[in-house]
Structure 1
Amino acid sequence: MKKEKDFSPISGYMMLVVVIVLAVISLMLMSWHSPVAILTIGLMVIMMPGFFFLNPNSSVVLVLFGEYSGTVKTNGFHWANPLFSRKPLSLRARNFDSDKIKVNDKVGNPIQIGVILVWQVRDTFKATFEVDNYESFVKLQSDSAVRRLAGQYAYDNFDVEQEVTLRSGHDEVNHALEENLRNRLDIAGIHVVEARIGSLSYAPEIAGAMLRRQQAAAVVSARFKIVEGAVSMVQMALDQLSKQGIIELDEERKAAMVSNLMVVLCSDKDVNPVVNTGTLNH
Structure 2
Amino acid sequence: MSDQYPPPSQPPGPYGDQPPSGQPQQPGPYGNPQQSGPYGEPQQSGGPYGGQPQPQPQSQAQPQPGGPQQFGDQTHLAPPPNPATNPYAADPDQPAEVAERIDPPEGTTVNAAGGVTPRIDVKEKAAFAMNGFLAWVFIALLWVVGIGWGIFTVVNDGFPAPSIVIILVALLLGSSVTVIQPGQAKVLQFFGRYVGTVRRQGLVLTVPWTSKKSMSTKVENFETNELKVNDADGNPVNIAAIVVWQVADTAKASFAVEEYHRFVTIQAEAALRHVASQYPYDNAAEGEPTLREATDVVAARIAEEVNARVHLAGVTVIETRISTLAYAPEIAQAMLQRQQASAIIAAREKILDGAVGMVNGALRQLETTVPMDDAHKAEMVSNLLVVLTSESRVTPVINTSMPRERDNN
- The normalised TM-score by structure 1 is 0.90
The 5-angstrom pairing of residues 46-65 of structure 1 reads 46-65=172-191
Within 1, Cα distance between the matches of 2:171 and 2:361? 99
SS of corresponding position for 1:115: strand
Q: Compute the displacement of 1:162 (Å).
A: 4.6
Give the residue type in structure 2 aligned to 1:5. K
Give the residue type in structure 1 aligned to 2:132. G
The 5-angstrom pairing of residues 50-199 of structure 1 reads 50-157=176-283, 160=285, 162-199=287-324
Q: Residue 142 of structure 2: which of 6, 10, 22 is its match?
A: 22
Q: Residue 263 of structure 1: which of 374, 378, 386 is its match?
A: 386
Within 2, Cα distance between the matches of 1:182 and 1:276? 76
Deviations 1:217-265 (A, max 9, x none): 21121111111211122122222333xx112222211211111111111
**Is the radius of gyration larger for structure 1 or structure 2?**
2
Structure showing the higher helix proportion among its residues:
1
Identity of aligned pairs, percent?
42
Q: How many residues align?
A: 279
Contact 2:187 2:198 in 1 (8 A): yes
- The normalised TM-score by structure 2 is 0.64
SS of corresponding position for 2:240: strand
Within 2, Cα distance between the matches of 1:205 and 1:275? 53
SS of corresponding position for 1:196: strand
Contact 2:127 2:206 in 1 (8 A): no
Q: Compute the displacement of 1:166 (Å).
A: 0.7
Contact 2:147 2:167 in 1 (8 A): no
Q: Which deviates more, 131-140 or 82-91?
A: 82-91
Look up the match of 1:251: 374
Q: Compute the displacement of 1:161 (Å).
A: 6.5
SS of corresponding position for 1:173: helix
Contact 2:246 2:317 in 1 (8 A): yes
Q: RMSD of aligned C-alpha atoms? A: 2.0
Deviations 1:153-211 (A, max 9, x none): 11122x75653211111221122122222222222222221111011111122222222
Give the residue type in structure 2 aligned to 1:150. A
- Structure 2 gaps of 5+ residues are 1-120
Within 2, Cα distance between the matches of 1:153 and 1:204? 19
Greater RCO, 1 or 2 (C-alpha within 8 Å, sep 6+): 1
